[in-house]
Chain A
């Protein structure tokens, strides 16, 4: 089925460990992004990409790295996990996020619940 696939669904890390959250989409979407969702707060943008080879920082980028070597994949790397990174992470993609090209909906993955102890 077409959509956004995130793995893993759950992960527990120890402080200082590193890991990569995977995100893949098969819709040939130009735009991909990573968000974190914390209780009582709206989703916050971590990093985003407007195409292969192009990435940029969002609202809360510290402690995270991304790369976009292909249109389909947009992994999120936690360099040295901290308890403050305990959250639910969502990857989202869209055909385009440029209003001049139209208003396209976002497709979200099902999320990765990360706990850092």
Chain B
């Protein structure tokens, strides 16, 4: 069973609107949680990295939150742009293991 579950699987939003993506994980104990953006045909690119003691991390219009008690994270995209159309992947790093756990991703489509 995948230890990282993302929702929704996909969503469509209008340019300029906000959206929030969810990530639930069971990896424990964990070292950090990362959000990546993957454009079609490209490799994932890091957006944010949060340790277990951090609650929020921003990168421009992207804001990630983390609740280590409920094992949930979210990625909020503010004032979406057409270039935000991509897959967003949640990744959890175990504390004592090299092997990352990847979510299946949420595909975001921004329409004009």
Size class of B's contact patch? 20 to 34
- A45 adjacent to B99 (CB under 8 Å): yes
| Nearest CB on B from A24, distance (A) | 14
- B31 adjacent to A108 (CB under 8 Å): no
Residues from chain A with a CB closer than 8 A to the CB of B104 are: 40-42
C-alpha spacing A103/B101, complex, angstroms: 15
Q: A34 at interface (Cβ–Cβ under 8 A)?
A: no
Residues from chain B with a CB closer than 8 A to the CB of A50 are: 98
Given contacts A42-B101, A42-B104, A105-B49, contact A99 B31 (CB under 8 A): yes
C-alpha spacing A92/B65, complex, angstroms: 25
| Nearest CB on A from B4, distance (A) | 7
Given contacts A90-B43, A105-B34, A108-B43, contact A42 B51 (CB under 8 A): no
Q: A106 at interface (Cβ–Cβ under 8 A)?
A: yes
| Closest residue on chain A to residue B103 by CB atoms | A42
Residues from chain A with a CB closer than 8 A to the CB of B46 are: 105-106
Of listed B41, B98, B102, B105, residue having the most chain A CB within 10 A: B98
Residues from chain B with a CB closer than 8 A to the CB of A90 are: 43-44
Residues from chain B with a CB closer than 8 A to the CB of A103 are: 31-32, 49, 51, 93
C-alpha spacing A44/B41, complex, angstroms: 17
Segment 21-43 of B: residues with Cβ below 8 Å from A = 31-32, 34, 41-43
Residues from chain B with a CB closer than 8 A to the CB of A111 are: 41-43
- B102 adjacent to A43 (CB under 8 Å): yes
C-alpha spacing A50/B99, complex, angstroms: 12
Among all A-B residue pairs, the 9 with the closest Cβ atoms = A108-B43, A42-B102, A99-B31, A105-B46, A43-B102, A103-B32, A97-B98, A42-B104, A108-B44
Q: Chain A interface (Cβ within 8 Å of chain B)?
A: 4, 31, 35, 40-45, 48, 50, 56, 58-59, 90, 92, 97, 99, 103, 105-106, 108-111
Q: What are 11 sample pairs from A and B whose C-beta atoms fall under 8 A apart?
A: A4-B43, A31-B98, A42-B101, A42-B103, A42-B105, A45-B99, A99-B31, A103-B31, A103-B51, A110-B41, A110-B43
